[in-house]
Amino acid sequence: MTGEALRPRIAFHAPMKPPEHPNPSGDRRIARLTLQALEGAGFAPFVASSLRTLEMAGDAAAQAALAAQAQAEAARLVEALRPDPPALWFTYHSYWKAPDLVGPAVCAALRLPYVISEPIHARKRREGPWAGFAVAAERSLAAADLLLWSTARDLPSLQALEGARLAELAPFLDLGPPPAPRGPAAGPLRLLAVAMMRPGDKLASYAALAAALARPEAPDLRLEVIGDGAERGAVETLLAPLGARVRFRGVEPDPLRLRAAMEAADLLVWPGVNEGFGMVYLEAQAAGLPALAEDRPGPRHVLPAPPHGLPLPPPGDAAAYAAVLATLDADRGRLAALRGAARAHAEARHGLEAASARLRELLTPLLRR
């Protein structure tokens, strides 16, 4: 028997966006990373279904059609998998706009252990245009043997589920090679912001950042902004008081060039208004780039705490944010030490190896033997 044959097979499903979807997005990226982490944990994951149940318009007829497709898909999978059932079914991300309508039926028919990562529970969605899907999402959560939460924001509502078994799976990514060592930086602080320019929370974060950088407490600095979007004009207006000290670079689609920009900067600056956790904070840590956010649940959950990380100023306190920048400007040795601490924190908690070890620990006891 080959080593591959000895690996427990895990059926994988991502109802919001399957990993082979042609359009890149954060959800597709995490689905692919989850497959990598499962493989690194010693399992043999395979995409069991590519059915996408995402329904964004609140259209009851469209939801009914997706439910019918899911019923047919589940029946097909039961017959296809019955001769050689997998050891476990793993769904990435089930929520009220994209519930897992396939996994619970297949698991019930074949008596498979059922796990969901990044589930979202929103009881208030039982009313309104997604009511049926919200109930279906609740049923999937109730059927799961284990719910893996990744953001502090989602945890309280999951804890309200009666009988739910919860475990943390920290957000993770492929860290890549360690960055080259650097000595203390000289000259103006080189700040970097990486975010799309969308209405709502992203624009609010840009506004908070602009207010902080315009404060008299803020040191001499240069800001590079990577991102674009519908609110580009509004962001340019917000940062106009910085004049020539700010450079707009636009979207950077090349991950190697983005990584190089992070390795060249002194500090990632992003307040993180209502961020679930903020993948950019993990990318920065992978590049050895410390980050300064506001003290919000999402950033707090993934950034190292002092002394290995920075004190996070209160939300909306531009003076406190600027004061942290001034402290770093005055102590470049501290800033250099934070670079190494950022990478070490990412390796210990947010890398693929850490995720694989955690998945192996949590899933092995559940496997169908």
pLDDT tens per residue, range 240-265: 999 999 999 999 999 999 999 999 99
Domain that holds residue 286: 189-349
10 in a structural domain: yes
244 in a structural domain: yes
Indicate which CATH number applies to the domain containing 322.
3.40.50.2000
Residues 325 and 362 in one domain: no
| Structure tokens given for 358 | 């955690």
Q: Write the pLDDT tens digit of every residue in 293-317.
A: 999 989 999 999 999 999 999 999 9
Number of Cβ within 10 Å of residue 171's Cβ equals 22
Task: Indicate the helix (H) or strand (E) that contains 112.
Answer: none
Structural domains of the chain, count: 2
82 in a structural domain: yes
Alpha-carbon distance of 344 to 340, in angstroms, equals 6
Residues listed for the chain: 369
Alpha-carbon distance of 293 to 268, in angstroms, equals 8
Residue 4: per-residue pLDDT: 59
Give percent of the chain above pLDDT 70.
Answer: 98
Residues 152 and 298 in one domain: no
182 in a structural domain: no
Q: Write the pLDDT tens digit of every residue in 332-350.
A: 999 999 999 999 999 999 9
79 in a structural domain: yes
Residues 271 and 289 in one domain: yes
Alpha-carbon distance of 203 to 273, in angstroms, equals 9
Alpha-carbon distance of 103 to 15, in angstroms, equals 10
Residues 12 and 33 in one domain: yes
Alpha-carbon distance of 199 to 35, in angstroms, equals 32
For residue 38, CA distances in Å to 11, 31, 190 come to 11, 11, 38
Residues 141 and 219 in one domain: no
- Peptide bond connecting 307 to the previous residue in cis, omega within 30 degrees of 0: yes
Q: Write the pLDDT tens digit of every residue in 269-280.
A: 999 999 887 889
For residue 286, CA distances in Å to 215, 221, 270, 342 come to 30, 23, 16, 7
228 in a structural domain: yes
Residues 151 and 205 in one domain: no
Residues 195 and 152 in one domain: no
Average pLDDT taken over every residue of the chain: 94
Residues 342 and 358 in one domain: no
Q: What integer is the mean pLDDT of 97-116?
A: 97
Q: For residue 112, give the nearest of 138, 137, 146 by alpha carbon.
A: 146
179 in a structural domain: no
Residues 250 and 360 in one domain: no
What's the pLDDT band for 355 if we cut at 50, 70, 90? very high
Find where tokens 């207006």 sit: 237
Residues 167 and 315 in one domain: no
Residues 34 and 150 in one domain: yes
Residues 282 and 152 in one domain: no
pTM of structure: 0.87
Task: Indicate the helix (H) or strand (E) that contains 226.
Answer: strand 221-226
| Structure tokens given for 267 | 């500090």
Q: What integer is the mean pLDDT of 347-354?
A: 95
What's the pLDDT band for 183 if we cut at 50, 70, 90? confident
